Every structure is written in C-alpha cells, then in structure tokens.
Amino acid sequence: MAQSKKAKALAAAVNPETLYALDEALKMVKANATAKFDETIEVALNLNVDPRHADQMVRGVVTLPKGTGKTVRVGVFARGPKADEARAAGADVVGAEDLLEIVQGGTIDFDRCIATPDMMGLVGRLGKVLGPKGLMPNPKLGTVTMNVAAAVEAAKGGQVEYRVEKAGIIHGMLGKASFPQEDLRANFDALLDAVIKAKPSGAKGKYLQKVALSSSMGAGIRVDTTTVGYIV
C-alpha cells in the first residue's frame, strides 16, 4: 500500500535508529498524531521472557490514573441481586443464560467481561469464543468476583489488562493524543510499574529490553530504556 505524503512526512520526522528519551518520545508521538480523529497513543514493551514457559508469563491488571480516554462497555454474568448490583454500578450488558445465548449467537457487545463465581460453569461454555478475544473472566484478574460493583467501576475507571504475547511483547494503550503529555507519562509509569512488579521468577538477565511508542496512524518511536525511571 502506497504511503500518503502526510504519512511519509511523519515517518521522516522520526529516525528509526535513534533512541529518544521518554519525555521527548511522548512529545513527538503527540505532535505526529495529526489524523482527523483523536488517535490512541500506544506502547510496546519488549521483555526478556518466553511466555511459552509458565514461570515466564507476565499478566495482570493496572488502573491507569488518567484513564484511557475510551468508553469501556462492561458485560456481567450474574443473577438476582448481583445482577442488580452490576446494573447499578453501570454495567452495559447483564445476564445469565440469556446473555450466553446472545454471545453464542455471535454478538459480543462488551469490552470487558465480569462474572460471579457461581456463573463460571455457564461462562466456561464460552471459552472458545471469549478466550481468543481476551475476554474470559479470570479470578487472578479480578473479573471473577462477588464484588461485581467494584469490578464494574474499576473497568469503567481506567483499569486495563496487560498480557505478554508469544514474542515477549506487551502492547498497551496510554490514552489519547489529546491527553496532556504529563497524563500520558503518568499512565506510562503506572503500566510499567505494574509490569516490573509482575516480573516472573523465570525471567533472567535484563528484563526490559525495548520500549516503543506510537499513535494509531503514526510512526513508531524507540525509547531509551535508561530514561524510563527504572533499572530493569
């Protein structure tokens, strides 16, 4: 696909061989996000782990202090009072067998999925549907819980999941291009802090190998890992 003049100009503004200080990289990625929509600012953290081994898996949740800039739709599998609690907390889709049938029919109208423990026998039938999309409720991530109100509020309030992929990379979002630079930095710090604390026992050597920032339509910008505030 041929690049537009605008895309070429943006790419030319970034030297792919240069490692930029984190704050400079954040400034650049904001400046290069010139699409007609509010681009998402994304980060890629390349870790020295092999997630094929259980003792090198990195996965968890973190609340971005400045939010994501995205409206998150939350689905909850619950019955009775817990279903009412979920609705009162702002859940967008709530149900049991009826919601199971909707999802089995191919409609997934939510970005996060929460379930009470008693519903997991039912939700387990959706493993092949929800699993590949990263939506399967998990007690370790706080999405299988009796405290559905708190879980819904967390999901709506900037909580995001992170998970290392096969190549040892975690992809995450830091917010929108319209965010002040200091807000993007605060979200970056929160995400990296969570990933550092989640360093698995099987990880050896330098944990954080590479960091790169980009916007939805912008070029990738490599970050000097010595400027991120951690020795890892």
Do 82 and 144 sit in the same domain of this protein? Answer: yes
Do 151 and 78 sit in the same domain of this protein? Answer: yes
Q: What is the pLDDT of residue 9?
A: 62
Domain boundary among 110, 128, 156: 156
Residue with tokens 């000097």: 224
Residue at 5 is within a domain: no
Do 183 and 209 sit in the same domain of this protein? Answer: yes
Do 149 and 99 sit in the same domain of this protein? Answer: yes
CB 185 within 8 A of CB 24: no
Do 144 and 193 sit in the same domain of this protein? Answer: no
pLDDT tens digits for range 166-218: 899 999 999 999 999 999 999 999 999 999 999 998 888 899 999 999 999 98
Residue at 4 is within a domain: no
* Mean pLDDT confidence for 87-109: 96
Q: What is the pLDDT of residue 95?
A: 97
pLDDT tens digits for range 3-37: 556 556 655 667 778 999 999 999 999 999 999 99
Q: What is the pLDDT of residue 14?
A: 77
Domain boundary among 156, 182, 212: 156
Residue at 2 is within a domain: no
CATH of residue 46? 3.30.190.20
Domain boundary among 156, 188, 218: 156
Q: β-pairing, 59-63 with 159-163?
A: antiparallel
* Mean pLDDT confidence for 208-232: 90
pLDDT tens digits for range 107-155: 999 999 999 999 999 999 999 999 999 899 999 889 999 999 999 999 9
Q: What is the pLDDT of residue 10?
A: 58
Do 112 and 128 sit in the same domain of this protein? Answer: yes
Q: What is the pLDDT of residue 202?
A: 86
Do 100 and 150 sit in the same domain of this protein? Answer: yes
**Which among 169, 201, 230, 227 has a CA at the least distance from the CA of 27?**
227
29: three-class secondary structure by DSSP = helix
The domain tally of the chain equals 2
Residue 69: CB atoms within 10 Å: 19
CATH of residue 112? 3.40.50.790
Q: What residues make up the domain containing 31?
A: 15-68+160-227
Q: What is the pLDDT of residue 2?
A: 46
193: three-class secondary structure by DSSP = helix
